[in-house]
Every structure is written in C-alpha cells, then in structure tokens.
Amino acid sequence: MTVNTDSEKFIHQLLSSNLKSIEVIRRDNKHIDWENDEKIDSSPVEDMLFDFCQKVDSSEIVVLTHVTSPFLKKQTILDAVDLLRNNKKAKSIHSVQQVQDFVWLKKDNEAVPINFCTDRVQRTQDLSPMLISKGAFFIARAGDILGQRSRLPEPVLFFPLDHIQALEIDNFGDLEFARMLGN
C-alpha cells in the first residue's frame, strides 16, 4: 500500500508503527502552494493524483478520499474496491448518495423542476433515484486514471452510501451536525 500525504504527524505515526507494508510518498510542495494560493481559482487535486499515479504501478488500485467525510467506514472502501476488482467493464467507482425526493435546480433566481410534476401528485417512493456525487471516495487503477486523465475513468460504477457515511463537512453547519453525530 502506498500513501500520499503532506501530514508530518501522519508520516511520523506510520514510520514509528509496525506497518512495514505501507510506503509513503510525500505530497509535492507545488500542490501545497497551489492549494494555499488564494489567487489560483482551481484545485490541485487532479494534478496531485496524476503525479501520484505516475509513481506507482499502473495496476495499483488508487483510493482518493477526503478528510471531509469523517463517517466513511473502512469496510465500505474495501467493499467498493472489491466491486471494482470483480467488475470486468468498470474503470472506476464513485461514492454517491441516492435520494428519492422532489428536486429543483436553482439557477440565479429561478428554480426549475427536475422531477416534480405540477399536473399530478406523485409518490416519492416511485421516483427514479437521484445520485448525488459525494467526495467520500474515487477509486480506480492508476493506469486508467492516467490513460483517461481523469479521477473517474469511464465507465463509472456508483456506490451508494448510507446517510451517515454520505455526510460531508463543507461548511460550519455540516461541522456542527457532524459533532452532534459524533457524540
């Protein structure tokens, strides 16, 4: 297993542990600088991922996960990796939250219905599920990521998360809710 991080604390913990099967690749400073530069209006995530994939074997399964998904379970990631290994067509797995509810898309000051009908009453349980992208994980082989220059090489399989694991901390309200769940 290979880990890419810039956390000195995590690197120290790994090096002082008995986990000799884990190799650490330190995140390049260019990515840290990029992320901290307020003048740059983009994320270094894909560039960081491509650099990482060039340093590992092309057949290695890469799991890109985010600390903003604090309730993601190890077994969920292992199940998703197994799904990718056992599916001969899929090139990647992406975490989603599956929702069966009425949805409108808000553009500027207007809301456009996606699946809400004004001419009849619908049952939400009969709606087709909406898949909401969650950054909990993106899983693919290094060679497929580099071959398509994408963190989600196609074809993609979607892996539904339960409500708790789907929680992402994107703002202070999410953080407060996560703290309540964690107690």
Question: Sorting pLDDT into bands at 50, 70 and 90, what band is 183?
Answer: confident
Question: 43-182 has which fold?
Answer: Spore Coat Polysaccharide Biosynthesis Protein SpsA; Chain A (3.90.550)
Please give the structure tokens belonging to residue 101: 């509810």
C-alpha to C-alpha distances, 126 to 75, 91, 102, nearest whole angstrom: 30, 30, 11
What contacts 43, CB < 8 A, 6 or more positions away?
Answer: 35
Instruction: Give the pTM.
Output: 0.88
pLDDT tens per residue across span 98-125: 999 999 999 999 999 999 988 999 999 9
Q: What is the pLDDT of residues 45-104, one digit of tens each?
A: 899 999 999 999 999 999 999 889 999 999 999 999 999 999 999 999 999 999 999 999
Which sequence spans correspond to the domains of the chain? Answer: 43-182
